[in-house]
Structure 1
């Protein structure tokens, strides 16, 4: 069996207290967590990719940003973990405000990748250049909000 090589891995539900970065063997993890053992997000980098890591910014226990410097572009990663469908609308609004705050750390010429668990269903139809046709099921309210 061939081993899968991952350079960057986004994590949701890290469930650690606090925020920061740490070495895990040859990997580097940046993470953002609250005061209890719930929620939490992180981004794990292999040893080569971690050399390009310039900073990590912990926005909340649902959003973390990483800045990578490369030869031809600057890359910003935003890892998220959205509230579930059981959550109050206020919590969902706060989550999207946190994503906007994360985007405030990004320069206009940076390449942005937003990844994570959005707790949304996007359906199986293409929506302009936002969503491809490989989703499952029928789009739900959270999916519409995400596309928006």
Structure 2
């Protein structure tokens, strides 16, 4: 990002700058702090207590002053990931600046999309001639609309896409079956309505309550029947 020549010093600023900096704050340091506040970024190497030789990053000509003008900055979101930050003045890195080295421990959340396996009622293609002919025409039209592809892989992708799109439009889906004996069509419908109500806490709460109430009633009814038998 360029050489700011910014000194943030030892004065703590909210949760942006710690008290373990070095030197006296200058005007460029104030601008850097403002930029960090705007972008929710912390100055990492000011939060770890180190001896002065592990803080300075640049030595002025004539070896008169040692300054801290290079920083390891990180988003507030990952503040706890930064375990340590310090300089290594004895490093031979072909620069008049001293490298700032940090120790990190990141644990990133894996956002996996739920796999939805759509089941189509394929048996209807054998019994219902109207749907079968409609499906065949739909596949042919969609495949021709995708155009000719020279590569085999692309041809397969086009063909697969045409089949899936036509099936989604023409072939009805297999109805959800109850896995438990006490599961009724009414409960399944309530579960579907609850799924559609995601994002609305009030409706979600209402349908969840209804689902639980109906499920408990059905379980109790089933238990009483078994006892009578």
TM-score of the alignment, normalized to the shorter chain, above 0.5: no
Q: TM bucket by the smaller chain?
A: under 0.3
Structure with the higher strand share, 1 or 2: 1
TM-score (normalised: structure 1): 0.28
Structure with the higher helix share, 1 or 2: 2
Q: If you compute each CA radius of gyration, which structure gives the higher value, 1 or 2?
A: 2
